[in-house]
Chains A and B, each alone.
Chain A
Amino acid sequence: MARKLTFLQAVNEALLQEMRRDPTVVVFGEDVVGGSGAGGEMDAWGGPMGATKGIHAEFPDRILDAPISESAFIGAAVGSAASGLRPVAELMFVDFMGVCFDQIFNQAAKLRYMFGGKARVPLVIRTTFGAGIRAAAQHSECLYPLFTHIPGLKVVIPSNPYDAKGLLVRAIRDDDPVIFFENKVLYAMEGDVPEDLYTIPFGEANVVRDGDDATVVALGRMVPMAEQAAEALAAEGIECEIVDPRTTSPLDEETIYESVERTGRLVVVDESNPRCSIASDVCALVAQNCFSDLRAAPRTVTAPHTPVPFSPVLEDAYVPSAERIADAVRAVVGAGAPA
């Protein structure tokens, strides 16, 4: 029988199993050893969410609790990656990444290129993203478009527990810096996860659902949202094909194009802000490469161009919903609102 884990447990298992397999894997971050509510070292919480739980007990010398200075410990992670370790740094909220952009954009992303391939930076930065937990504007953003923009970085956004484990293992074994995005709302999601180690290649989209009427490209938490919308639309006779790219850099353009060639209609669902987003990027790529296949203008479903509101009512209205996705699909297929 297939074993069920939550998304959070899948991340934790990937870390522990890779640390057992490879002695060069180390973990850096704030509160990753102890942290809120911990009753001592042996009862460590393991980070603000518990993703690193149990690592200190098994590998006390390979997990480092960092001071609240992202620029310091991300810099240390970049340096240790360049000199032989495989660090997995945890940066609690992607919103804080701004203070260490130089380490990431100017150092980690460029070392291999500037040393003519003689340097490598096998670094993973795990971070959380997304609205929905009443954490306000500085703890709720979806900044993956910023990192996707930078050559030299790989960007991973899993949408379920199975993908979370397979993609994190793949990220740890990768010789380039990988920014690994975990949606806080998905941490409790359960799914089948093999106990054995496995890897999911980067740049391979997952076709979550087959359909001939419209292509829906969705990422992270937007994938289950799109599935909900597709269920509702199926009852109206509209069949959506849902494509989850899983990684935005590299991006599996081929799978998106093949789907659009068949459906002629595209909706991109992206929880980030609308300008210079994955939504706008995918629309541009499809317009350039599949223009003659399109039978309607592509649509995007995104957050508005504002910070994430703290008011729960506004926050709920801010995040794309299944209803908004369904409306966008109805619009591209030329169907009216349901009676």
Chain B
Amino acid sequence: VIAKLGMPKWGLNMREGALVAWLVEEGAELALGDEVAEVETEKINGVVESPGAGVLRRRVAQVGDVLPVGGLLGVLADPGVPDAEIDAFVAEFQATFVPEAEEEEAGPATETVTAGGRTTRYLRRGEGGQAVVLLHGFGGDLETWLFNQEALAGPGRSVYALDLPGHGGSSKDVGSGSLAELAAAIAGALDALGLDRVHLVGHSLGGAVAAELALGRPQRTASLALIASAGLGSEINGEYLHGFVEAESRRELKPVLELLFADPDVVTRDFVEDVLRTKRLDGVTEALQAIADSCFPEGTQAFALAERLAGIEVPVLVIWGADDRIVPPTHARAVAAGARVEVVGGAGHMPQMEAAHEVNRLLGEFLGAHGA
């Protein structure tokens, strides 16, 4: 069996990526999910993982090459496959491969659902089976999951990434901005999507929203995964929140965004520009301010979910980045006994981006163990 190692598509707008480094030699034996190469996009750097088990027979792309999404990085095959067949596979691929046209390049398209007069934008990947719902953090949007959603989706598992109220492509009206209102809005969207029972995965503020939802309707929650979640302690980096809401320029915003990551070099010019473009939309700053005032007054967390979660009859996974500078990693231990807790090294407040491979593995195992 010959398999293609292709240029991945991370996020809605990625068209091409540059090969920064090969992480394994030609001839290396690979397992599904092994890290194979490092790729740089306009927006962010990431690691390409092996699409299956096999030997890396060819490193087709050279370091520095820029490939369109779907372009051929390398070839995986069993050791027994003759070299001639590998050569023929490469030759045929290069002769017939057509990059996605400009008009079609958008790939998966976001959709919207309306409930209670409020529009929620979402992106669905995967078909049928159990539903997994991803909820991003304060100031983010569904692209927070650009390294995760595709990896978690599959036949028999539908993964929905939603924009919280006031964020991304969702309605900018957040009312008082309270956790209860955010959770009610998401509950309305899930009902309108016809999702009866879901696996909830929340990051940061989205974690608190997911926990609030799970507490409100445990019978409709198959599992709860909390990543660097709000709601598990009183501390939060108030300077970050204030800086994020107030920043109007790249110069102001960049150092704020760098607090999110263990490695500040992750924050590229385009990453900052994307966040600025969202913040410039009418209503966004007001929405963020309302949420910050209600949920995180004076740089503290206004809600305590840890005690309430202690008695919940839903399986809980907690993931944290060891170098989180926004919400302290000590909060990971605040959820009572039954929860599984994983602290990931080399990652800050965004482990789903900085340690995507590890977080995908943890989430995949957890979801698999609980029926999805």
Interface residues of chain A, those whose CB is within 8 Å of chain B, are: 1-2, 162, 166, 194, 196-201, 204, 206-207, 210, 252, 254-255, 258
Contacts and interface: CB of A to CB of B under 8 A. Distances in A.
Contact of B251 (A1, A166, A200, A254): A254
Contact of A255 (B12, B248, B251, B280): B251
Contact of A198 (B12, B106, B109, B281): B281
Contact of A194 (B109, B250, B251, B277): B277
A197 B106 CA distance: 22
B282 A1 contact: no
Contacts of A2: 13, 106
A100 to B, nearest CB: 32
A206 B249 CA distance: 9
Contact of A199 (B12, B105, B280): B280
30 contacts: A1-B12, A1-B105, A1-B109, A2-B13, A2-B106, A162-B277, A166-B280, A194-B281, A196-B281, A196-B282, A197-B281, A197-B282, A198-B277, A198-B280, A198-B281, A198-B282, A199-B280, A199-B282, A200-B280, A201-B248, A201-B249, A204-B248, A204-B249, A204-B250, A206-B250, A207-B269, A252-B249, A254-B251, A255-B251, A258-B251
Contact of A1 (B106, B250, B269, B277): B106
Contacts of B269: 207, 210
B150 to A, nearest CB: 17
Nearest to B172: A196
Of A1, A166, A201, A210, most buried by chain B (CB within 10 Å of CB) is A1
B273 to A, nearest CB: 8
Contacts of B281: 194, 196-198
Contacts of A198: 277, 280-282
Nearest to B108: A1
A198 B282 CA distance: 5
A206 B272 CA distance: 11
B10 to A, nearest CB: 16
Contacts of B13: 2
A262 to B, nearest CB: 13
Given A1-B106, A1-B109, A2-B13, A207 B250 contact: yes
Contacts of A196: 281-282
A195 to B, nearest CB: 10
Contacts of B277: 162, 194, 198
A2 B109 CA distance: 10
A252 B249 CA distance: 11
Of B105, B106, B248, most buried by chain A (CB within 10 Å of CB) is B248
Contacts of A255: 251
A252 B252 CA distance: 13
A199 B279 CA distance: 9
Interface of B: 12-13, 105-106, 109, 248-251, 269, 277, 280-282
Contacts of A200: 280
Contacts of B251: 254-255, 258
A210 B106 CA distance: 26
A204 B269 CA distance: 15
Nearest to A199: B280
Nearest to B107: A1
A237 to B, nearest CB: 14
Of A166, A196, A255, most buried by chain B (CB within 10 Å of CB) is A196
A55 to B, nearest CB: 20
A207 B269 CA distance: 8
Closest 4 CB pairs of A and B: A1-B106, A198-B280, A197-B282, A204-B249
Contacts of A258: 251
Nearest to B105: A1
Nearest to A166: B280
Of B12, B269, B280, B282, most buried by chain A (CB within 10 Å of CB) is B280
Nearest to B104: A1
A258 B282 CA distance: 30
A196 B250 CA distance: 21
A85 B251 CA distance: 35
Contacts of A252: 249
Contacts of B248: 201, 204
A199 B283 CA distance: 11
A162 B276 CA distance: 13
Contacts of A166: 280
A188 B208 CA distance: 47
Nearest to A17: B282
B305 to A, nearest CB: 33
B306 to A, nearest CB: 37
A311 to B, nearest CB: 37
Given A162-B277, A204-B248, 16 more contacts: A1-B12, A1-B105, A1-B106, A2-B13, A196-B281, A198-B277, A198-B281, A198-B282, A199-B282, A200-B280, A201-B248, A204-B249, A207-B250, A207-B269, A254-B251, A255-B251
A238 to B, nearest CB: 17
Nearest to B110: A1
Contacts of B250: 204, 206-207
A279 to B, nearest CB: 23
Nearest to A162: B277
Nearest to B103: A1
Contacts of A206: 250
A255 B105 CA distance: 34
A111 to B, nearest CB: 27
Nearest to B106: A1
A23 to B, nearest CB: 17
Nearest to A197: B282
Contacts of B109: 1
B153 to A, nearest CB: 19
B15 to A, nearest CB: 11
Contacts of B106: 1-2
Nearest to B102: A4
B120 to A, nearest CB: 15
B321 to A, nearest CB: 27
Contacts of A199: 280, 282
A2 B277 CA distance: 12
A200 B277 CA distance: 9
